[in-house]
Structure 1
Amino acid sequence: MKTRMLTALILLLGIQSVPLHAQLLGTEKKYVRIGQLQSHFSSYGSERAWNNKYYEGLRWPADYSYTDNAVIKRFWLGCSDFTDAEGRYWSKYGIYFAADYVGKSLFPMELKQIAKFPMPHVYVDGNDISAPYQGDVDDINPDQIPDRIVVNVVNTSMGLTIKRIIYAFSQQYHDDYFIKKFVFINTGNTDYDDEIELNTPIKGLRIGWGVRYSVCREGSFYIGGTQSWGQQSWVTRRGETYEDHYQQIITENTPISQLDWLRCGFSWAGQKASNSFDNIGAPDILKTGRLTAPQMAGIVILHVDKSPQDRSDDPEQPVTLGWHAGDTYPKLGDMIDEGQMIKQYTMLSGVPYQGLGGTNRFFEDNTSSITDRVDPSTIHNDGGGTNLWVNYGPFDLAPGDSIVIVEAEGVHGLNRQMCELIGARWKEAKTYPSRSFEFELPDGSSISGTYNDGVADYFKNSWVYTGWDSIMKVFARAKMNYDSGFDIPQPPQPPTKFEVLSGGDRISLKWEPSPSEDQADFGGYRIFRAIGKPDTFYTEIFACGKGTDHPQIVYQFDDTTPQRNHAYYYYITAFNDGSNNDGTLNPPGPLSSSKYYTWATEPAYLQRQAGRSINDVRIVPNPYNIKARELNFTLEPNKIVFMNIPAYCRISIYTERGDLIQILEHTDGSGDESWNMVTKTRQTVVSGIYIAHIEVTKDYYDPQTGELLYRAGDSVVRKFVIIR
């Protein structure tokens, strides 16, 4: 009987292929990096973003550095009238999901990632830059619809097993959210092994989480360090009228104003009390004014079972949707204090712990305008910030019963171009605070006034708060996707291989065909390029296939326009003709494979031949002047280049008094080598006169004539000046 019950439970969980004694460390993670939103998922069933250096996760937009938005997802379970595997009775029993409880109350059993197709290989000058990420995927399933599926199974000391399934999509209109399906099943398994310890109902099961966002990591550089853990984050909610609308069908054309009934909550960076300026959007006040925190991050509830016997969506769930003080919650400690478990259960029932929470719209009820400089942490005085607070239940689960909850988590906001434009305009007004400016608002109207009058802040914040509409559109698309059974139109697969090769007079790009070429709607390929750094704007430089200037599909393109010693970055996408996309579940038109599959994040250069004479060596720029650095190499301001150098040489750099500060080994056979002006002790050099000693390390012959151009040991000295 026991064996039959175990077999049935395993089949219900869908983990037939997992060894019964599977056991994972709590530190194991799986990374999803295929779309605009990228993140990791932990084996123990929830995420704390701290990686011992910074808060990592929920990167959006993933094109750029420092765009992490995650802090923590506090995850609690509670039940009533419970007898544990040791025979101890608890009137209320609780579990908190944290790495410290792995092996005590949490027992991770499975964490794997399944891809629809193998990850393409991307090479830059022979270096496989995709190699470090090939291990992200455990299995391939060409029949699945999502690009990636992460499966996570955790047993608990309650005898409740959680199967968490994360669905990720790379389609360009659906790559900024993850759909998360949670299956809570009464297996009776309270540890790692396959033995079933409990065979009793789980009564009054309550499920809850408190989710906090930093929105975002870069923004904390300008708001203040406390925002790195979300101390200044605002929270609001929607969905108060869900019961009146939950059977309503929405499409891509449904107005944003008619989506307010969706069960959701989201967060963004608010004001820090100690800042003397309006920091909404986290403008970079030290440089261009670019908005560094335009993100809105949050959760929409897509489905909650009414009961184990009724799988229809329960419009009365969740029982709590609102806000809660971030670090204010009952601590379970070593899990022997029943009083703390009772307090946790009460909180999961919707009663704010210590009164520091609510189901109201936190932002709207504590401000009167978008320019009010209210620090949200001062409302409840919790230094941890404010969590989005969600509770479900109660549910009664007999042995073998399960409950399914489905959510989507997404991030969106102003794009980088708008952040630069709006921020620069605001910074200009701040620089001349008494001068009157005219500002264009999101609705197309204009407003005039000065920074001192608060008009510039109103202009800036009006644009930042368009993110409310953006995140609601993300939530709507996630719901449409889920309700359709993931029937969103699919983009073509990317090329299976992409190669970038630096050359003497060109940079050559080659690729292998997309597996989607045999589909009738396949369009062709597009190549995009950026200069100076990988996380900047890209421009299309070539296209072939349907509707392009090069209708014949090819698999090679030579970029002959690069300039010497500038860094170039590329990616390639496959596109279709849009005939599979009628505009119901996203905007109509052609769809493209994700840039993140083929993004060459290492630079290629125009490689010039080595100098013919060691006396031809020169240094550019010389002098280097920090005030003119933007005129030197695009987006590489701290760079000087040794040109016309021998193919194989050692460049030793000294101060004027003879201190050796750096050695560059030049081994690629070209005539150029760059230096970032950092010493071997990782210090940026100061103003002064420097001496470069260039010594040949290998005999070199003219590749055409065979003439010996220079011998190992030949050397030359050059002086150069740095002005900082």
Structure 2
Amino acid sequence: MKKIIQFSALCLILSLILMASTSYALVFKEIKIGRYWDRVNDACHQAQREGRFGQYIHNSHGVLARGYMFNNTSTHIGCKDWTDPATGTVYEYWIGGAGHVAPNESNNFMPIVEEDGLTIHKYWRFEPPLVVVDGFRSSDPMRDGDEVDPGYIPGTADVMVESSVNTMLGITIHQRVYAWSQQNHDDYHIYDWTLTNTGNLDLDDEIETTQTIKDFYIAREGHYSNTWNSWHWWPSRVGEFPGDTLRASFIYPARSHTHAQDLLGDVRTSGNEIGYMRQAWAGGDATLFCSSAPNMLNIADDDPSQPRITATNDQDLTWDKPDAIYINAEDRQTCYNAMSQGTAAFTQFVQPDYPDALLAYPGSHHGITIDDMCLYGYDVRYPKDANLTTARHVSWQSYGPFTLEHGQSIRLVWARGAGSMTPEKIYEVGQAWRAGTAADLWEGDWHLPPPMEVYPELSPTDNDKAKDSWVTTSVDSFFRNVYNAQWNFRQGYQIPTAPPPPSLEVTSLPDGIRVTWGVESDAAPDLAGFRIYRAKGNYTPKISSGQMIGTWELITSVDKGTHTYTDETAERGQAYYYAVTAYDNGTNIPDVSAEDGHLIYPANQVLESSIYLNRTVVAAQLTRPAGNSLDEIRIVPNPFNINAVNLQYTGTNENMINFLDLPPVCTIRIFTESGDLIQTIEHTSESGDESWGGKLPQRHSATESGQRIVSGIYIAHFETPDGQSIIRKFVVVR
């Protein structure tokens, strides 16, 4: 009996594991072609379990410090008087969608499997460039569901990700996410949704219901923060009143109540990054379109009053956090009330509506933004003062109401992106603030968050005010970028494009580093030439030993028809990274301005492909000349101690075992002390050195089967093509 019970328990555990893997399948596509990166999942909801990825390249380490810009987002959909076709039960309020933590993909937001067996696809306008450094692939490979099909992508987007879901309301959501890589449009992605009342409540083709969906709302949330703690950020919004030209929900840096001094921007006061500001960016979503009525899907059919409901919410409320299938009737009603009336309709989180709400669109409800509460008589100096029950605030945007008859559709489009200073400017301002000279870098009136205007003690000195003004310009950058997205959408995604990027091969040589690129760009009729960029020390900006490394610099330009360049200025012992962009002649660009008046395209602007499409992430460095004799071969460091970084080579040689003064061509076989062959390396570069180890799997100091080598004595056998050979021993300590 005991064995039967144990077997039954095991079966139950296995079944739960299988159910979990079915309910929460992690299927996504990454978009990493410009300064803003994102991970798009097949179920559309982008909630914590499966989204949690947005990253922005204009910051420390090339992406946002501490991980993610959008920790998670979520979507709720709701209606009134919905009838369950299986039981005939009428629900006064019916909610579907994904909570922040546990979205269920089995019976709520259910990804639709296409004919090829996949639930999500990624389409390219051009062949993704192949990038190779010293024989090692440095670019991401094409994966299942990836294909090049420029004819299928609407407009001129460089990448499109597509998926669809059925939902527990019978609403089918078709999602397309578009991204561009040219310099005016690489700070955002556009999410384009069509929501149709198909009546399909599951994943088969049968239609379970043809009922009309009444008083339908879509609520979208975003936890726009790269940490769980939101006390370092002001959540804010624009576009809630007639005459506004941009509808956006976003965050930007705030001074935290936990800091005794003004560290707005998260100035590093100690450690390797001292003086750098990790949180000098702004990011969020901008609504570009919402249907004014069912089946009104064209650009001219936009309803400027949407979203009708906006507020700042607490992420951990019982009606909001869980998956909709798990909440009770009371929480369903509360969730629907929040969709239709705003968060001021209930008492769990008190955020009053604007007192001048009568100036807003009729039927809309807009909570006072937390950063503006001080302007309306509330003593809110820090985000914490806004009566949040936890340190996790989220934006709340609700669109509706709609009445959707069976077969009718609505469309919702938004841009997600970010903006900031350049890493170099961030570091310059942070260092000036530490030196007390930041005011020398700022001209004109201060540009501060409202609480710092109302409470001057929050930014007490001109030195503080200058730093804080620079940090707050991140909002201006964010606005500029999403205004560009708005203009892009209104052009039907038909915007100018740069020539396609070339493939790239980088070869380390004794007297220079050779950069060779392919002919993929040559087909562009307006191709003018190529630009070669180089980064030193790292392939993204970061602070190392008090200096910024990894910034990309233009080292030369060449006319079209040229496909190779040798960098003879490289210095021995340094790590170098390269990118080659293709640029056009600028003849197809007129003056183009966004709705706020800023110039998107100056006349005859030259467009170029993005360095993020073919930059190398594996370092190249000058190699040694080939040795004259096998007797000269050395192995360094020896012994190799993985923990003794100060005794290793730096740059590209860090964490590597290096074979020096080799002949131009030889085979290196590595054996254990007992004579077992564990790795074979073909040295064919005609240089005098070869490495074993590093960050890439191909270079790890590992056996042929991929196992990491253990501490011990190893034997290296070197053999030339003419049969000459020699043996060297080395020690590994782990």
TM-score, normalized by the shorter chain, greater than 0.5: yes
Q: Does 1:183 align with 2:181?
A: no
Mean CA deviation greater in 571-580 or 351-360: 351-360
SS at match of 2:54: coil
- The match for 2:453 is none
Alignment of 1:493-572 (within 5 A): 493-495=500-502, 497-515=503-521, 517-519=523-525, 521-535=526-540, 536-545=550-559, 553-572=561-580
SS at match of 2:141: helix
Deviations, residues 357-409 of structure 1 (Å, cap 9, x unaligned): 4534524334589xx99441342233242112101111100001111122111
Q: Does 1:75 align with 2:64?
A: no
Closer/same/farther in 2, CA of residues 191 and 714 from structure 1, 3 Å limit: closer
Query: In the aligned structure 1, how far is the partner of 2:459 from the partner of 2:233?
Result: 26
- Name the count of aligned residue pairs: 624
Q: Does 1:345 align with 2:336?
A: yes
Q: Does 1:480 align with 2:478?
A: no
- The match for 2:28 is 29
- The match for 1:84 is 84
| Cα contact 1:26–1:44 (8 A) shared by 2 | no
| Cα contact 1:328–1:356 (8 A) shared by 2 | no
Query: In the aligned structure 2, how far is the partner of 1:336 from the partner of 1:539?
Result: 54
The Cα of 1:190 is off from its aligned counterpart by 0.4
SS at match of 1:38: strand
Query: In the aligned structure 1, how far is the partner of 2:120 from the partner of 2:716?
Result: 53
- The match for 2:258 is 274
The Cα of 1:112 is off from its aligned counterpart by 1.6
SS at match of 2:371: coil
The Cα of 1:490 is off from its aligned counterpart by 1.4
**2:688 pairs with 649, 668, 671, which one?**
671
Unpaired runs of 5+ residues, structure 2, are: 1-21, 113-118, 353-365, 448-456, 541-549, 594-599, 673-677, 703-710
**1:307 pairs with 273, 285, 293, which one?**
293
SS at match of 1:593: coil
Alignment of 1:69-218 (within 5 A): 69-86=69-86, 87-98=88-99, 100-109=103-112, 110-135=119-144, 137-142=146-151, 144=153, 145-214=156-225, 216=226
Read off the aligned partner of 2:718 and give its amino acid letter.
K
Q: Does 1:408 align with 2:415?
A: yes
Deviations, residues 151-207 of structure 1 (Å, cap 9, x unaligned): 221111111111122121112101111122221111000000000000110000011
SS at match of 1:151: strand
Deviations, residues 606-633 of structure 1 (Å, cap 9, x unaligned): 22244435457496999x9x9x989995
- The match for 1:57 is 54
Closer/same/farther in 2, CA of residues 595 and 437 from structure 1, 3 Å limit: closer
Closer/same/farther in 2, CA of residues 360 and 89 from structure 1, 3 Å limit: closer
| Cα contact 1:84–1:158 (8 A) shared by 2 | no
Mean CA deviation greater in 452-461 or 554-563: 452-461
Closer/same/farther in 2, CA of residues 707 and 587 from structure 1, 3 Å limit: same
| Cα contact 1:76–1:97 (8 A) shared by 2 | yes
| Cα contact 1:31–1:136 (8 A) shared by 2 | no
Query: In the aligned structure 2, how far is the partner of 1:539 from the partner of 1:25?
Result: 43
| Cα contact 2:429–2:441 (8 A) shared by 1 | no
Deviations, residues 413-461 of structure 1 (Å, cap 9, x unaligned): 11111111111112334xxxxxx77532154999xxx999633322211
The Cα of 1:211 is off from its aligned counterpart by 0.7
Deviations, residues 341-368 of structure 1 (Å, cap 9, x unaligned): 1111101113315234453452433458
Q: Does 1:264 align with 2:255?
A: no
- The match for 2:545 is none
SS at match of 1:355: coil
The Cα of 1:677 is off from its aligned counterpart by 11
The Cα of 1:124 is off from its aligned counterpart by 1.4
Closer/same/farther in 2, CA of residues 452 and 587 from structure 1, 3 Å limit: closer
Read off the aligned partner of 1:238 and give its amino acid letter.
V
TM-score if structure 1 supplies the norm length?
A: 0.77
Closer/same/farther in 2, CA of residues 309 and 634 from structure 1, 3 Å limit: closer
The Cα of 1:466 is off from its aligned counterpart by 0.6
The Cα of 1:44 is off from its aligned counterpart by 1.4
- The match for 1:355 is 349
SS at match of 1:473: helix
- Identity over the aligned pairs, expressed in percent? 25
| Cα contact 2:252–2:475 (8 A) shared by 1 | no
Closer/same/farther in 2, CA of residues 73 and 308 from structure 1, 3 Å limit: same
SS at match of 1:426: helix
Read off the aligned partner of 1:278 and give its amino acid letter.
D
- The match for 2:707 is none
| Cα contact 2:262–2:459 (8 A) shared by 1 | no
- The match for 1:235 is 235
- The match for 2:400 is 393
| Cα contact 2:668–2:683 (8 A) shared by 1 | no
Alignment of 1:646-665 (within 5 A): none
- The match for 2:463 is 456
Q: Does 1:423 align with 2:433?
A: no
Read off the aligned partner of 1:532 and give its amino acid letter.
G
TM-score if structure 2 supplies the norm length?
A: 0.76
SS at match of 2:338: helix
SS at match of 1:31: strand
Query: In the aligned structure 2, how far is the partner of 1:645 from the partner of 1:367?
Result: 70
- The match for 2:282 is 296
Q: C-alpha root-mean-square deviation of aligned residues, in Å?
A: 4.1
Unpaired runs of 5+ residues, structure 1, are: 1-22, 217-226, 246-260, 430-435, 546-551, 654-662, 683-690, 719-724
Read off the aligned partner of 1:64 and give its amino acid letter.
G
Read off the aligned partner of 1:644 and give its amino acid letter.
D
Q: Does 1:591 align with 2:607?
A: yes
| Cα contact 1:233–1:270 (8 A) shared by 2 | yes
Closer/same/farther in 2, CA of residues 417 and 192 from structure 1, 3 Å limit: same
Closer/same/farther in 2, CA of residues 616 and 630 from structure 1, 3 Å limit: closer
Query: In the aligned structure 2, how far is the partner of 1:639 from the partner of 1:361?
Result: 56
Read off the aligned partner of 1:597 and give its amino acid letter.
L
Deviations, residues 513-566 of structure 1 (Å, cap 9, x unaligned): 1345351x2211111111222112122223212xxxxxx621122222323332
Closer/same/farther in 2, CA of residues 675 and 201 from structure 1, 3 Å limit: same
Read off the aligned partner of 2:610 and give its amino acid letter.
S
The Cα of 1:80 is off from its aligned counterpart by 0.4
